[in-house]
Structure 1
Amino acid sequence: MTQVLELVMDELLDGILVINCCSRKVTYFNNKFVSMWGIPQHILASSDNQTILNQLKTKVLYPEEFLKPIQSLYENDQNWQDEIRLKDGRTLLRKSISIPGTNTLKSCVWIFKDITNEKSIFIDSLTGCLNRKAWDSFGNEHGKKRNHSIQYCVAVVDLNDFKSINDDFGHEAGDRVLKRLGVTLKRLIRNKQDKVFRTGGDEFCILLESTTDISSSIVTRLSNELIAAGINAATGVYMSNQEGGIIEAFRKADKRMLSRKKTQKHLHNSLIHPSHLVSTRKTKTDEEIEMLANLSVAIKKGELKLAFQPIFNTSNQVSWIEVLCRWKHEEQYIPPNVFIPLSESSGHIHRIWDWVLEESIKTVHRWKQNSIYTCISINFSAVQVEYYKNTGFSYPDQIKRICYQYNVSPKCLKIELTETSLLTDSIKAKDLFNELSEMGIDICIDDYGTGFSSLSIMQALPIQCIKIDGSFVNGVPQNLSNTAITKGTISMAHELGIEVCAECIENAEQIEFLESYGCDYFQGYFKSKPLSAEEMAKCIEMHHN
């Protein structure tokens, strides 16, 4: 009869484990238990419950909770059940049945049932979080309880500009962002009582069980996790209470999230810029999408830094300083010629401009406090010129406001434009350049010679200086073609009353040649590499005019 029973037990779909409560030895297990848990035969052969339980512990997601009820099952005759989440993604239902008897015969039977498929109807297939159906079910069950003795910290998270991500980069990119957010939010989970739900298209909710108010610490931790993951999202956090329960807490957290999202949108519209403009190229590579996600929070994470490269006059004095933006992500420098074009096509250039402008003016203010007086130049993107033409956004007002805030004169600032900034409808931007010029801000054309600026544009706009691109300076005076172009550019600029700066100076011979044809200013590694603010201050003092 025993043999027949064992054959029947081995055919069952549930895994069975029997432990003698007195000897603490495993007295029986069926084949389904072995295959379900993947326990090696040499472990099973020991029959020692602690050895086998330690092996089971390595398979589960929350080991301590798995082992917690074991001591009590040896001491009482209660039957109970719970759910066990395994590291491989499966969910098992564990039923514990006490078999009464004398001290030597008393046993405990564990029955394991794989309920992964049953649970899957409550799982969001994209992110692996609990879905809306699970949220509704949990909320209904919780709502039936009159006394909400169990309290939760409820956090609502909603992605910013998610529609723009789908429209400009495709739904595949949007899915990647949602997956990334799901993984990030799961990092806040401490035990199986805590839960993460995807309650809407780009909205998530976190429930963290707690007997005390942890909302303040969760706000901080959630913000840090989102920043670290490169995710731009609005959040709202609220602690449930015995009266309202989680549904009321969710409403209040959602209200806080919406209020914060509205505030952020108003701030970007009124003081800064939209965080996203229509991309000129709709598709992005996986590497670019990853980089964009990191770039979106690079400022918050303090990854952007300023570097300063001096421009010298013919007397070897520092005439002004070009401000350069550097991005260091995870101990690796991302080249400007990689992240700047990407920021322009995605709209992140506006946030970078806002940050660079204020940080630059703050630096000038600090130098001024130490009796170091100089001018700086900041690069102005073609995207910003286009944005001005389309919206009329007042960059002069923005500059005035920041200069006033730090007690710095706008005359300490120069704006550098590439020739591509002037290629289309440049006359429409004439009012912007004129207003900047009237404030005492010099307008420079950077990388001159690589675009197609006409003389009419040069005459129509208030341009004070052109910077000859390094590709033409390279090789002079030996390279006859570059020499002719450089000489002609200097002569033409001077005829129009415009000063000339040569970029990418590599040796003294170039300076000697350029000076002989009247070049006014020089910039390049031969004169000075880009420096930190502290190094730049020393350089100014060394080359004091």
Structure 2
Amino acid sequence: MHAEDNVGSPRAPRSEAALIAARAIEALAQHVAVCDASGRVVLANAAWRGFASTQPDGECFRPIVGEPCRGVRLQSPDGPVWMGEQEISDVIAGRAPEFSLRYPVSTTLGTRWFAMRVTPLGLPEGPGALVVHEDVTECADLEDELTHHALHDRLTALPNRALLLDRLNMAVKRAKRRGTANYALLYLDIDRFNVVNESLGHVSGDMLLMALAHRLLGVTKEMDTLSRFGSDEFALLLEDVESPGAVGEVAERVLERVRQPFSLKRRSVVVTMSIGIVLGSTDYENAGQVLRDAETVMHRVREGGGGRYEIFSEAMRVSAGKRLQLEMDLRKALDAGEIGVHYQPIVSLADGQLRGMEALARWRHPELGMVPPMEFIPVAEETGQIVSLGHFVLRRACTKLAELQRRYPGVEALTMNVNISGAQFARPEFADEVREVIEETGIRPGSLKLELTESVIMADARKAVDSIRALRDLGVHVVIDDFGTGYSSLSYLQRFPVSCLKVDRSFVLTMADTKGNREIVKTIIKMAHSLGLEVVAEGVEQAEQLEILAGLSCESGQGFLFSKPLDDQDLDILLHERLGSV
């Protein structure tokens, strides 16, 4: 029976609108039928009627008019199965608002996906239902494509963070269920990837990532998951791990493959990786915990220079917990008045007179006592707190210097050295901030010396030249700190308007025992003097070191041989003994 034949009857002449509606239903590409209260088909359009003839096995998947609509007939190992028969009855009876089902159908065109939707329909004779089948193969393909994009990295085509974490969660759950864990997670970070981006451009950086992904796939098994996790980070989930040694072998193969040169823009580029490894354990509850530990050990490797792997241990978790607590405590330390400034004298090696002092941040924790700078300064740098901490030390040091200049009129030449972090120095307003501190405290600009490490200056050499000139225009001196550990080049020294070099303590401490280091110090001093720069030696702890430095015409020294860093009270005692008071 056609759709047109079912709309109206000879005893009830159809309206023009009904005729148009009937023709519209008949022309629809969707397979449309109307069922009466008993579930029998009373109307079917051309698409519904014509569908049966396309079936390879000749069986009808659409009941004809007069037959019951039992839903969808699917093949199973036990024979045909009807899906949706009860649900259609529930919709007609008002027990369900609607019903939908997606199912595959084998046709001469291949496997097609259809969606069946059943909705209530009031008929003159009573309740009924509208049943619509629609070919949604293209929509299903699009959904599959969208799902793939949602779970894969577009640059490398590798699984992304979301898919990796999903598979890692499944591995964690399997381990909990079975009572044994045979998975491992490798967290991989490209060492100094930013150098490639900055020197060769982001296109070359992307090419490196794609080439690296291809290499890494060569060390994985079919059941493993290699994921691009971030801009320069990858993660490798190993399944069915036989032993910790097997995981280490995989890590070694990764490092070896990565070390092989890459060809980018006709240049040979060599990179290394930092790898943090977590061996699966039934103690883990979710993927986030595994990832946390993998990141912890990866950062530990990277801080140690990179180019190697390390396996996570419980001791690392304890250390990470302490570091996190230290970070939270540090955020409150400035406001709580726990941060102070100590001052280490800088002495003339010619006559032993006090030339100046270096301001050093010190943290007296209410529970831990004095926290070593090597513990809290890196935390401040990583969390961004170094800017506020550095500004506090600068202001406190200048305030102290102004006080000393008022109390001891004979110390006009006394100088104050203050360390400046890379984050401070990179701020466009840094020179203005220094000028404001000078004006507020009233110190002589020439008595302030700001210390910058070689790495801070060379991070952006062109910008550094402008920033140093801005400081020199204020009358402030700029000192290169820890000289000898970085670029240490005469050509770059000539570019920057600095006034002093500080020889790194690592050379000074072993100078008396190691001839090589003595020659390095001698060369640095000679280089500095050729450029008219003053030299300060750090880490002077022995009289023999002092004698050697004096013989090399080094102007000043700093170290425990002269004095440890002093708090305000001890500094006042020292100055009173040397200079008297007014």
TM-score w.r.t. length of structure 1: 0.46
Structure with bigger RCO (C-alpha 8 Å, 6+ apart): 1
TM-score, with structure 2 as normaliser: 0.43
